[in-house]
Structure 1
Amino acid sequence: MEKPSDVLTKKQILVATEETLRRFGIAKTSVTDVAKVLGVSHGSIYRHFNSKAELLEGVTEKWLNEKIIIPLSKVCLDSSLTGVSLLKRYIQTLVELKHDYARDDEEMFQMYTRVTEQSTDFIEQHIDHIVKQLADIITQEGITSDQPTQLARTLFHATARFHHPAHAYEWKNPKVDQEFSDVWALLEHGIY
């Protein structure tokens, strides 16, 4: 008969880690806690992930894909919007998702914030994915730009205050939605 660790998958570990993070928070979660949830030794976790930092990156990647990238990908396919309206909806969705998770999924958002601070290569890949989707919208929608990737990256950074986790404390301000609208109006005016 196989031991649980013999058939343990990365996906099972990531799901258990997310559950453990939600229960104990990032500061109190250990690899041993994750192993206990799975009924295995902590060494079984280290067969799949070299360190706690690598494990947290894996959980963050899973969370970002499920909670941010998949919904943003659906926006890209929304045929009811065109041009700058589609571009705005994409950025608005990014902003709304980050605000919602900062408020309603605090443990996972804190984990994401921590990984953002510590794993710049990983986060840069996430940003590159978003920039590529924005650049695709710019190109497909015929938005005037001879450098769609540069425009996409500029839009991403120009709106960072509204979606970067370092600014999450500012999102509680009741004026933040109006401030986003004001920034977007300026950006939209610059695009045309």
Structure 2
Amino acid sequence: MTQQKTIPGYTYGTGEAARSPVTLDELARLKESVLLGPADEAALHQAGTVLADQVEDVLDVWYGFVLAHPFLVAYFSTPDGQLIDDYQRRVRARFGQWILDTCNRPYDQAWLDYAEEIGLRHTAAKKNATDDAPSVPLINLRYLIAFIVPITVTIRPFLARKGHGPDEVEAMYQAWFKAVTLQAALWSRPYIAGDAW
């Protein structure tokens, strides 16, 4: 399963998505850097099958974490601190699709381009533009990087719910961790000026 429904602002594979300046060769080197290989790709596909009917449950955990931390809620709020429910719902729908994309999409040019789009949507260049949201102008890079941990450590129980053995669960978990780290590295690119990235 690749896409569950029409999702507002989801522009994967369209001309509306940014074009990544990262080359496929650079992506290959990043994949090597996070130890993401063919066995991990197979484990991710398996994880996609396992997670397909659990996406909303996963999002409940992740958004429970965000909503429990006012400094994270601020990124879905107006500058004076009012949560923008519609904005949060629209981003949540795309976040759910991201779970499926992480597991099921080939990591090709379209995937690389959409990773660039996601990164841009966290920066002042594009945050709020997709949803015309009156929110704060950017998500600080430090939280983009730090969020690798909660969206990784919380996934294991969901991967273990379909009766797979410990070794299979561990393989899916490790593949997920590598894929999330890879994407966080790509999402950081729009934050970094010049050749420093």
Task: Give the TM-score of the pair, scaled to structure 2.
Answer: 0.33
Structure scoring higher RCO (CA < 8 A, sep ≥ 6) equals 2
Q: Which has the larger radius of gyration?
A: 1
